[in-house]
């Protein structure tokens, strides 16, 4: 059984909430701001303690390099319940992998499908509909790198702060979404890239889905 202090539990709950709402964990600075710490270093100390206790995993060098570990097991151990899961083979999702998307055609058109993968739905904050191969490094500081596979849930709407897949004319891009009135900003997480500005109903712009998780090959 993992015993957490009240502050550690508060931070763990904040991480879970951020992943549920946006698909990605918060940065150290965001944790510090939310909980009133004087600096991101204070947040880092608590994260290191959570990692030592096995509640999370940390990826060095990534501002959002936080991953929950065995969240269901943690919850069940703290409440004293035994968790019974169905056979793993019954829990797999079969997701198509989308590669390059041709201009003007649906993102899930057959000619865009490179392969399909059997994946565990427990890996994601919501049930995805497809995987999208990342091209470029515009979301590097969100922990999204060239060649990663993003799990995407089809959606034509998004909340501010969520990471989305959007169509802009002939391109499909992954950015953080922010809307004010009719103005929409598609924000990169890499200072080498510029924010994209569009308006609601603009020709050639459409939301394709929400990013709900990420898969990475370590080979």
- What does the domain layout of the chain look like in residue ranges? 6-79, 92-215
Task: Give the Cα separation of 95 and 80 in Å (integer).
Answer: 35
Domain 92-215: what homologous superfamily? Answer: Umud Fragment, subunit A (2.10.109.10)
Segment 198-202 mean pLDDT: 89
Tell me: pLDDT of 89 over 50: no
138 is catalytic: yes
Tell me: pLDDT of 209 over 90: yes
SS3 214: strand
Domain 6-79: give its CATH architecture.
Orthogonal Bundle (1.10)
Catalytic residue among 53, 175, 179, 182: 175
Site of tokens 């900003």: 185
Residue 63 confidence (pLDDT)? 65
SS3 141: helix
Catalytic residue among 3, 138, 155, 182: 138
Task: Give the Cα separation of 176 and 181 in Å (integer).
Answer: 17
Q: Which of 57-66, 109-118, 141-150 has the lowest mean pLDDT?
A: 57-66
pTM over 0.75: no
Task: Give the Cα separation of 56 and 9 in Å (integer).
Answer: 12
Residue 81 confidence (pLDDT)? 35
**Cβ atoms 93, 160 nearer than 8 A:** no
Task: Please name which of 163, 154, 106, 111 lies closest in space to residue 131, comparing C-alpha atoms.
Answer: 154
Task: Give the Cα separation of 161 and 117 in Å (integer).
Answer: 28
Tell me: pLDDT of 72 over 60: no
Tell me: pLDDT of 123 over 80: no
Average pLDDT, rounded, for the chain: 81
Q: Given pLDDT bands bounded at 50, 70 and 90, which one contains residue 62?
A: low
Residue 181 confidence (pLDDT)? 92
């Amino acid at each position: 059984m993992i015993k957490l202090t009240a502050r550690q539990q508060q931070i763990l709950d904040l991480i879970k909430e951020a992943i549920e709402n946006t698909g990605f964990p918060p940065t150290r600075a965001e944790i510090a701001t939310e909980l009133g710490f004087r600096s991101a270093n204070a947040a880092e100390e608590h994260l290191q303690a959570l990692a030592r206790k096995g509640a999370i995993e940390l990826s060095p060098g990534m501002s959002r390099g936080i991953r929950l570990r065995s969240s269901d097991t943690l919850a069940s151990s703290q409440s004293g319940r035994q968790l019974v899961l169905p056979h793993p083979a019954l829990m797999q999702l079969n997701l198509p992998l989308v590669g390059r998307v041709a201009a003007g055609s649906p993102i899930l058109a057959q000619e865009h499908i490179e392969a399909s993968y059997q994946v565990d739905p427990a890996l994601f904050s919501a049930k995805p509909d497809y995987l999208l191969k990342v091209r470029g490094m515009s979301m590097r500081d969100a922990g999204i790198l060239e060649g990663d596979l993003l799990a995407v849930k089809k959606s034509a709407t998004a909340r501010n702060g969520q990471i989305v897949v959007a169509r802009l004319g002939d391109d499909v891009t992954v950015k953080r979404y922010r809307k004010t009135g009719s103005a929409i900003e598609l924000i990169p997480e890499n200072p080498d890239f510029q924010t994209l500005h569009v308006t609601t109903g603009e020709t050639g712009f459409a939301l394709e889905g929400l990013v709900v998780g990420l898969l990475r090959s370590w080979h």
